Amino acid sequence: MGAATLYLTGSGDVSSLRLVPALLIFGFVLAGVDDHEGGSAAGVLEANQQLAGAVGVAALPVVPAMAGRRLSR
């Protein structure tokens, strides 16, 4: 979600106000979790963050390579 928010902003200059929509969505989702399921919800959130980070790191070398191909045509 955070990566999508940063992508949609379209700039490298990210203020805290631009991250508010993503934080609100996560807040509403986590607010609906019962107290006894809090640990499970935290685990799912952490797993999603780890997966998103891994995908982002894996995509880093691909994006410039594809942009270079478009520029050389």
CA distance 2 to 18: 10
CA distance 31 to 21: 15
- Please state the pTM of the whole predicted model: 0.51
**CA-based nearest residue to 15, from 5, 28, 4, 25:** 5
Predicted confidence band of residue 6 (pLDDT cuts 50, 70, 90): low
CA distance 45 to 68: 35
Q: Is residue 72 over pLDDT 60?
A: no
Q: Are 1 and 22 in contact (CB under 8 A)?
A: yes
The first and second tokens of residue 2, run together, are 């955070």
- pLDDT digits over 11-64, tens only? 555 566 766 777 787 778 778 888 898 899 888 888 888 888 888 788 778 777
* Structural domain boundaries, residue 54: 2-72
Domain count, the chain: 1
